[in-house]
Amino acid sequence: MQKNLKIALVQSDLVWEKPEENRLNFTRKINAIPNDVDIVVLPEMFTTGFTMSPFKLAESMTGKTVNWMKDLAKTKAVAIVGSIIIAEKGNFYNRLLFVEPSGFITSYDKRHTFTLVGEHKIYEAGKEKVILHYKGWKIRPLICYDLRFPVWSRNTENYDVLLYVANWPKSRILAWDVLLKARAIENMCYSIGVNRIGIDGLNTEYSGHSAACDVLGQTITAFHANEEGVQVVTLNQKHITTNRNKFKFLDDKDSFNFT
Averaged pLDDT for residues 127-147: 98
Backbone angles phi, psi at 123, to 5 degrees: -110, 140
Query: Using one digit for the tens of pLDDT, what is the confidence trace for 102-134?
Result: 999 999 999 999 999 999 999 999 999 999 999
Give the three-class secondary structure for 74.
helix
Query: Using one digit for the tens of pLDDT, what is the confidence trace for 167-180?
Result: 999 999 999 999 99
Task: Go through the domains of the chain in sequence order and give each one's CATH number.
Answer: 4-252 (3.60.110.10)
Residue 31 clears pLDDT 90, i.e. is over it: yes
Residue 259 clears pLDDT 90, i.e. is over it: no
Q: What is the pLDDT of residue 258?
A: 72
Averaged pLDDT for residues 214-237: 97
Q: What is the pLDDT of residue 214?
A: 98
> Using 50, 70 and 90 to split pLDDT, how confident is the model at 1?
confident
Instruction: Say what the alpha-carbon torsion angle 48, 49, 51, 56 is, to the nearest 10 degrees.
Output: -10
Query: Using one digit for the tens of pLDDT, what is the confidence trace for 239-254?
Result: 999 999 999 999 998 8
Query: Using one digit for the tens of pLDDT, what is the confidence trace for 90-100?
Result: 999 999 999 99
Residue 28: partners with Cβ closer than 8 Å, 6 or more residues away: none
> pTM for this one?
0.97
Averaged pLDDT for residues 151-166: 97
Note whether 236 and 211 are within 8 A (CB).
no
Catalytically active residues are: 44, 110, 144
Query: Using one digit for the tens of pLDDT, what is the confidence trace for 69-106?
Result: 999 999 999 999 999 999 999 999 999 999 999 999 99
